[in-house]
Amino acid sequence: MTTTVDIIARTRKKAGPRRSAAASIGVSVGAAALFLSVGVALLGPLLAPEDPVAISGRPRLGPSSEHLLGTDQLGRDLLSRVLHGGWSVIAVPTAATLVAFGVGAAIGVWTGLAGGRRDVVTSRAVDVLISLPPLLMAIVFISAFGSSAVVLVGVTALFFVPRVVRVVRGTTAAVIASDYVAASRARGDSTAQILRRDVVPNISGQLVVEFGARLSNVVMFVATLNYLGLGVHPPQPSWGLMVAENTLLLRTNPLAALVPAALIAALAVGVSLVSDRVAERLAVDVAAP
Amino acid sequence: MRAILTKALTGLVTGLLTVMLASMVVFAAVEVLPRDPARTALGNESTEEQRAAFREEYGLNDPAPVRYARWAGGMLRGDFGVSVISRRPIADELWPRLGRTALLALTALLISVALGIPLAARAARRPGGAFDTVANLLSTGVSAVPEFVVGIGLVYVFASWLGLLPVLSNGVENGQWVGLILPALALGLAAVSYVFRFARVGVAETAGSPFVRSARLRGFSERRLTWRHVLPVASSAVVNVVALNAIYLLGGVIVVENLFAYPGLGTMLIGGVRDNDLPTIEAVAVVTAALLVAVNVAADALVAVLNPRTRQRAAAAESHEPEVAAP
């Protein structure tokens, strides 16, 4: 996998100096933002001073040495809630993207490989499924099935599978149509051999890029569901939900809503800038969402 | 002309299929769970006989396809059923809210175009220049941030910190137009990056085309070139933004309405979710999906009309060899 990627990267003409300087600023900012948000999410639970769901002081306290970010409407320590609240914002999108990607890539390669009627039918189905609005449908599904991590991952994956299928199918079909695959066929290679030697090495770069682009969409999608109260259940902290819970504290203690909002922004922007940079390095066009 | 008509017709048929599929998915999702609407409506103290009579009266014993046909047929005639909570026809509440949502979305779109197009024109003047680079980075960043994060930032700055604008908007009927500013701004800012990206590519492409070069050789000013020659051609980019991103803009509308308690379809939907009011959820979901499809079909048709080359250019682009990495 890395070999093809490296060759593409090496053979690609270097962009102008200004462009690459800007790109490196972008990737530095992105990597820093990603480190910050993922670090808080993963290490936060170890550092939290209080129990995030327990009442540990008077309600609506401002920041003090005792409660660095103050307390919320119920008197729970906001710093502890921030430190515990990142896990669901990172784990659910990652799991959902992995599921959507596994299923979508398998279907995409399968149809791209075959061509013909199977391909046409799948492509038409994908066209129709893509035009269903994901957030709207997810809201309906979650209100019918109730919200749990499994439902959230499943519903999110469900609406991103057709998008992955479309890109992977196109890339695979382009490889299948190439002369070197024709040569492999003429040599008498089996489909499995063609898949392993020709298709997989040549689509892997695009797959990596697609994964990054999808992850960035899904992070935003899941955070939005969280914010609308369709993610984790209320006593549990989550950055998205915290923004909604603490909007009314904006005037007295703005940090209560702005810190979780900033961490979500850091995560989303970080994923997006870093995956853009990876796409640039691999010289693959980022697919439209 | 023939090609445009075929395209529009295909779009229309696909759109109708999508709305049908959306309504089936919505119906099925609500149908899957074992729920007793009779118990929900009559309460737990009702007797089994009362519930049986209720089911008989509302035809709940019929098979699912029959009930789907009745529900979908009702919606076609403008009958969306009755809210479980308010016991009033859903249609009465739905239409005024639809109007307010459309107003919010259009205002936001205007804001994003008014900001995005001049930025794109400026950035495309020197591709790769400092302005272009910074604008590109910002647009990548902003497009990745969820709308509610943009919105909460605006609320903090304009409502809490500066105290200039109200946080909550209670509709705009009574001349409370200030209530529209923050929601439209939040949604518009989230959409600027979409407009910017599309318009920038459109402007850069057009600016490099032979007719612009010849106009420049004839000695026209850069300003005149941009406004009279480049932007009109690139304007289809804006319509394209709407067509391609309507799905994502819709998600933004739902979020922003809830952030500001704006009385549109988005707050009605989430309110329905909170109250477990399934008929309301179903009705809003289907109407919103239909609205989205209508916007898509209209935008596609408009692109084709605005730019008759669309089809040929699309066909030509497909036949191009994939770009090979040059050594």
For every one of its 327 residues, what pLDDT tens digit does chain B have, with 9 covering 90 and above?
A: 666 677 778 878 888 888 888 888 888 887 776 666 667 667 777 777 887 887 777 677 778 888 888 888 888 888 888 887 778 888 888 888 888 888 888 888 888 888 888 888 888 777 777 888 888 888 877 888 888 888 888 888 887 777 776 666 655 555 567 778 888 888 888 888 888 888 887 777 777 778 778 888 888 877 777 777 777 766 666 677 766 677 777 888 889 988 888 888 999 998 888 887 888 888 898 898 888 888 888 877 777 776 645 444 444 444 443 333 333
User: What string of DSSP letters covers A211-243?
Assistant: HHHHHHHHHHHHHHHHHTT-SS-TTS--HHHHH
Looking at CA atoms only, how far is residue A34 from chain B in angstroms?
12
Give which of B12, B18, B152 to mutate to test A binding, by max A Cβ within 10 Å. B152
Q: Which residue of A has its CA nearest to B162?
A: A251
In this complex, the residue of B22, B141, B144 whose CB is nearest that of residue A220 is B144
CB nearest to B26's CB, from A140, A227, A254: A140
Contact (CB<8Å) B29/A140: yes
Q: Report CB contact under 8 Å: B128, A18.
A: yes
Q: Do A136 and B156 touch (CB under 8 A)?
A: no
pLDDT at A191 over 60: yes
Say which residue the tokens 């289809």 belong to.
B236
Q: Are B29 and A134 inside 8 Å of each other by CB?
A: no
Of all residues in chain B, the one with the smallest CA distance to A276 is B140
Q: Determine the angle formed by the axes of helices B130-144 and B178-207, rounding to 10 degrees.
A: 130
Q: For A39-88, what is each residue's pLDDT tens digit?
A: 888 888 887 777 777 777 777 777 777 777 777 777 788 788 888 888 88
The token duo for B178 is 């200030």
Give the length of chain A: 289
Q: CA B272, CA B130: separation in Å to the nearest integer?
A: 48
Q: How far is A236 from chain B (nearest CA, A)?
A: 18
- What does DSSP assign to residue B83? -
Residue spans of alpha helices (H) in B167-277: 178-207, 210-217, 222-224, 231-234, 236-260, 265-275
> Which residue in chain A has the smallest CA separation from B296?
A131
In angstroms, the separation between the Cα of residue B101 and the nearest Cα of chain A is: 15
Residue A235 corresponds to which amino acid? P
A132/B21 CB distance under 8 A: yes
Residue B211 carries which side chain, given as an amino acid letter? F
> What are the pLDDT digits (tens) for A198-251?
888 888 888 888 888 888 889 888 889 888 888 777 778 888 888 888 887 777
Please name which of B179, B157, B156, B152 lies closest in space to residue B168, comparing C-alpha atoms: B179
Test B247 with A227 for CB contact under 8 angstroms.
no
The 8-class DSSP code of residue B161 comes to I
- Mean pLDDT, chain A, integer: 80
pLDDT for residue A289: 40
> Structure tokens of B257?
């309405």
Q: Is B229 helix (H, G, I), strand (E, B) or coil?
A: helix
CB B278 within 8 A of CB B4: no
| CB spacing of A139 vs B281 below 8 angstroms | yes
The dihedrals phi and psi of A77, each to the nearest 5 degrees, come to -70, 120
- What's the CA gap between B141 and B133, in Å, rounded? 12
How close is the nearest chain B Cα to the Cα of A191, in Å? Answer: 24
pTM: 0.82
* Residue A24, min C-alpha distance to chain B (Å): 11
Question: How far, in Å, are A34, A58, A223 from residue A263 at the CA level?
Answer: 9, 25, 11
Each domain of chain A, given as residue ranges in start order, spans 4-287
Residues of B in contact with A139 (CB under 8 A): 254, 269-270, 273, 281, 285
What is the spatial distance between Cα B288 and Cα B75, in angstroms, rounded to a whole number?
13
Nearest in space to B102 (alpha carbons), one of B112, B114, B110: B110
Distance from CA of A143 to the nearest CA of B (A): 6
A261 vs B32, B152, B270: nearest CB = B152
pLDDT tens per residue, range A7-47: 444 444 444 444 566 667 778 888 899 999 998 888 888 87
CB–CB of A230 and B273 under 8 A? yes
Looking at residue B319, its pLDDT comes to 42
Q: Which residues of A touch B15 (CB under 8 A)?
A: 131
Q: Give the highest mean pLDDT range of A95-99, A173-177, B29-33.
A: A95-99
The answer to whether A243 contacts B32, with C-beta atoms less than 8 Å apart, is no
Of A140, A224, A288, the CB nearest to B281: A140
CA distance B296 to chain A (A): 9
Picking from B137, B274, B326, the nearest residue to A22 by CB comes out as B137
Q: What is the CATH architecture of A4-287?
A: Orthogonal Bundle (1.10)
* A71 three-state secondary structure: strand
Out of B155, B258, B276, whose CB is closest to A228? B258
How many Cβ contacts (< 8 angstroms) between chains A and B? Answer: 172
One-letter amino acid of A28 = S
Please give the C-alpha separations between residue A158 and each of A102, A172, B244, B274, in angstroms, as whole numbers.
Answer: 12, 22, 20, 23
Distance from CA of A255 to the nearest CA of B (A): 10
> Rounded to whole angstroms, how far apart are CA atoms A165 and B249?
23
What pLDDT is recorded for position A95? 93
Res B307: pLDDT? 61
The pLDDT of residue A88: 84
- Predicted confidence at residue B237, as pLDDT, reads 66
> Contact B144/A271 with Cβ under 8 angstroms?
yes
CB atoms within 10 A of CB B222: 11
Cβ-based neighbour number of residue A44 at 10 Å: 21
Dist CA A70 CA A49 (whole Å) = 13
Which residues of chain B neighbour A145 with C-beta distances below 8 Å? 29, 32-33
Beta bridge partners of A77: A71
Q: Are B188 and B109 in contact (CB under 8 A)?
A: yes
Are B164 and B158 spatial neighbours (Cβ–Cβ below 8 Å)?
yes
* Total number of residues shown for chain B: 327
The amino acid present at A191, given as its one-letter code, is: T
What is the reported pLDDT for A6? 44
Torsion of CA B31, B36, B41, B46, to 10 degrees: 170
The pLDDT score that the predictor gives to residue B13 is 85
Inter-chain CB proximity A132 and B22 less than 8 Å: yes
Q: Which chain B residue is nearest to residue A16, measuring alpha carbons? A: B128
d(CA A147, CA A133): 19
If you average pLDDT over residues A167-189, what whole number do you get? Answer: 85
Q: Which of B250, B121, B273, B269 is nearest to B191 (CA)?
A: B250
Residue A116 CB neighbour total at 10 angstroms: 8
Q: Read off the pLDDT of residues A130-170 as tens digits, 9 standing for 90 and up.
A: 878 888 888 888 888 877 888 889 889 988 899 899 888 88
